Amino acid sequence: MKRFSTFSSIILIFLITIVLSIFLPRYYWISFEQNVQIPKVFFSPITKQFIIHKQIDKHVVYYDETFKRITREDFESNTPYLNYRQLVFRQEMPDTILGKPVNFQEIKENNLFFSIDPEDVYFYQINLFPLIEAKPNGPQLISPQEYFRVTDKFEIFDAQTNKINAKMSKLFDEELRKYGFNFPAKNYFGEPSTRKPYHEGYFLVDNSGDIFHINRIENKPFCKKIEVPNDYKIEHILVREFPLQEFHGIIFTKNHKIALISYDNYRIIELPIKDFDLTESKFELKGDIFYRTISVFNDNSVVSYATDRNYKLISTYTEKWVNAKKSDIGKIAEYIFPFQLSLENEKNLFIDFYIEFSNWNFIFLNSILAIAILIIRKSQKQTSQKLFNAVYVLLTGIFGFIALLVIKDEF
């Protein structure tokens, strides 16, 4: 019984250590963490410079790329496409911008905004997608009762009967095979909503990693294989339908490239952005009649790229900040906690063991606590127990120390 009891005491100690390594850091951060404001970066078609705004001490401040403060009014005047409503209200909207007459409908159509966060991509997706009719009998897209999946064949479920629509499945299956689709599909990308101006269908990555564009047009399958450069392994495709119809979607590759699939016969336009890791960083693309601004948000910096409408790089802007981990609070945490465990992570929706090891700074506290536990538990005579206590606290620091204080079992 003693042997088993020792075993279960150790499990109990281990369990308490784990729980503490989740909750102590969590409460530490809740108590001390300070908000870090992230700048919003724009490219002014007027000054041909980046202008930025961010919150400092609860106030919004505006500045240009030389960090010179500007007023809100200046900011708005320098981003007339973005703030045309405001300028109209102030009766300051010019008639022409860069020689181009102002047309509000055109401004609206050309104002683009796409953004994608790791959280938007990394979660468990049930791979069943509504097979939306791209040319409905009416002005609006209709939510369909057909849902498809691409396993070893193309299968369409009827959501009214919960049965497979064999006839339609066969039609799509044959079409995909005709284009050399290698079943099953590894990934599905698309916008399964009907609240959008039109429906582009889905981009599927087949088992060999090739991209296929599929759609349902007048109840018939549409399929097209898309040629991409050889080194493109698809991480993600952001598909968005927008009135400008400039590109079908944005490809993020596993080797950290970003490219657009243009409406010009699926021509691939690679963006002038180096090393973008979707698992870590946030991507943002803004556009107006003349320019595109692409921003990459990392944990402690933003890099913005201004391009023309052909995605030729004009200018870049980088701003760094001290993130929570690197702040004084984060540095102190490294002295206290040998590691910090969390089951949640802001960069995806999967529950996992997200463990962050500290740089060796914790070793001071761990050593002190290891000695402390030997002193506190000096009544425990067994050398094996002393050794266990000391080594355990040395490794797990404050977590193991508290666990051993709670569970005083001798073994």
Partner 1 sequence: MLLSLAYKEWIKIRWAYLVSLAIGLGIILSIFLNLRLLVEFNSLKELWNYIIFKNYLFYSQFRFIPLLIGLILGIAQFVPEIQNLRLKLALHLPIEETKTLFFMVFYGFALLTAIFLFFYLILVSISSSYFPPDITNTIFITLLPWYTAGYAVYFFASVIIIEQIWVRRISISLFAVLLISQFFHTMNHNAYIKIIIPIFLFVILLSTLIITSGYRFKRGLR
Interacting residue ranges for partner 1, rule: CB under 8 A: 1-2, 4-5, 7-9, 11-12, 15-16, 18-19, 22-23, 123-124, 126-130, 143-145, 147, 149, 157, 159-160, 162, 192, 343-344, 349-353, 406, 409
Q: 193 vs 245, which CB is nearer to partner 1?
A: 193
Q: 142 vs 371, which CB is nearer to partner 1?
A: 142
Least CB distance to partner 1 at residue 219 (A): 16
Q: 125 vs 245, which CB is nearer to partner 1?
A: 125
Least CB distance to partner 1 at residue 316 (A): 36
Least CB distance to partner 1 at residue 79 (A): 34
Least CB distance to partner 1 at residue 233 (A): 22
Q: 60 vs 405, which CB is nearer to partner 1?
A: 405
Residues 170 and 156: their CA atoms lie apart, in Å, by 9
Q: 18 vs 374, which CB is nearer to partner 1?
A: 18
Q: 38 vs 349, which CB is nearer to partner 1?
A: 349
Least CB distance to partner 1 at residue 344 (A): 6
Residues 260 and 195: their CA atoms lie apart, in Å, by 23
Q: 179 vs 354, which CB is nearer to partner 1?
A: 354
Q: 387 vs 406, which CB is nearer to partner 1?
A: 406
Residues 37 and 321: their CA atoms lie apart, in Å, by 9
Least CB distance to partner 1 at residue 188 (A): 11
Least CB distance to partner 1 at residue 132 (A): 11
Least CB distance to partner 1 at residue 183 (A): 16
